[in-house]
């Protein structure tokens, strides 16, 4: 008798944000750090989503697990690393991010089309400033390493879940997050 087939997760990391809008660039800059991090599995695509919104339907098609990175205004101390998953994502007020409406529309459209990811986690950092500029503020810059660590942890959890043969959702702490964007989707 053969053992039950275990679905292998197809994981992608999506960076959101605008590189010309100070702390809004944090999701995109986190992708750059992940690309250079030897711990990050090279088989997992890093997608530069920038500010594309619904244009990301096709680049995300077929992924079962999506980790989105963005700046999120949750009204907490600047530089706070936030995490949202499950129902908490749907409950995020649209006003928390200039990109959240576009991201919410994206996920809603993917659900209607029947190709939404089964697991979605949003990680972000509370911005200090979202204005014109190409430098992160000091608190957000200081938190960038922690955001990268949280990405590595989440990828490890999803990978471990698959290795154990469990398709059950992984529950971790339920912090908060934000989403940002750029010009066009790319894969690294």
Residue 178 is predicted with a pLDDT of: 28
Cross-strand pairs, 85: 121
Does some domain include residue 15?
Answer: yes
User: 20: domain CATH number?
Assistant: 3.40.50.1450
Does some domain include residue 107?
Answer: yes
Does some domain include residue 170?
Answer: no
Say how far apart CA 63 and CA 126 lie, in whole Å.
27
C-alpha distances in Å from residue 54, one per residue of 30, 70, 105, 110: 22, 16, 7, 9
Does some domain include residue 82?
Answer: yes
Does some domain include residue 180?
Answer: no
Domain of residue 70 covers 11-163
Does some domain include residue 177?
Answer: no
Does some domain include residue 100?
Answer: yes
pTM of full prediction above 0.85: no
Say how far apart CA 171 and CA 22 lie, in whole Å.
32
Closest alpha carbon to 100 in 111, 88, 115: 88
Closest alpha carbon to 14 in 136, 92, 143, 124: 124
The 10s digit of each residue's pLDDT in 81-137 is: 999 988 787 666 554 555 555 677 777 788 888 888 989 999 999 999 999 999 999
- Count up the domains in the chain and report the number: 1
The 10s digit of each residue's pLDDT in 128-162 is: 999 999 999 999 999 999 999 999 999 999 988 76
Using the structure block, give the residue that is written with the tokens 């994206």. 106
For 103, list phi and psi in degrees, rounded to 5: -70, -40
| Number of neighbouring beta carbons within 10 Å of residue 95 | 10
Does some domain include residue 117?
Answer: yes
The 10s digit of each residue's pLDDT in 34-83 is: 999 999 999 999 999 887 777 788 888 889 999 999 998 888 999 999 99
SS3 152: helix
Say how far apart CA 78 and CA 80 lie, in whole Å.
6
């Amino acid at each position: 008798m053969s053992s039950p087939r275990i679905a292998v997760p197809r994981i992608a990391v999506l960076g959101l944000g605008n590189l010309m809008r100070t702390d809004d660039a944090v999701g995109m800059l986190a992708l750059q750090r992940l690309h250079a991090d030897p711990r990050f599995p090279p088989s997992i695509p890093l997608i530069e989503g920038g500010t594309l919104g619904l244009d990301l339907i096709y680049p995300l098609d077929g992924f079962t697990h999506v980790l989105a990175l963005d700046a999120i205004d949750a009204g907490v101390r600047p530089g706070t690393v936030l995490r949202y998953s499950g129902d908490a994502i749907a409950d995020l007020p649209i006003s928390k991010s200039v990109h959240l409406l576009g991201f919410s529309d994206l996920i809603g459209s993917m659900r209607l089309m029947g190709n939404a990811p089964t697991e979605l986690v949003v990680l972000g950092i509370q911005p200090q400033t979202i204005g014109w500029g190409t430098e992160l503020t000091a608190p957000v810059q200081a938190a960038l390493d922690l955001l990268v660590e949280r990405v590595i942890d989440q990828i490890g959890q999803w990978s471990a879940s698959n290795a154990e043969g469990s398709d059950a959702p992984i529950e971790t702490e339920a912090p908060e997050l934000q989403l940002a964007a750029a010009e066009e989707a790319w894969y690294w």
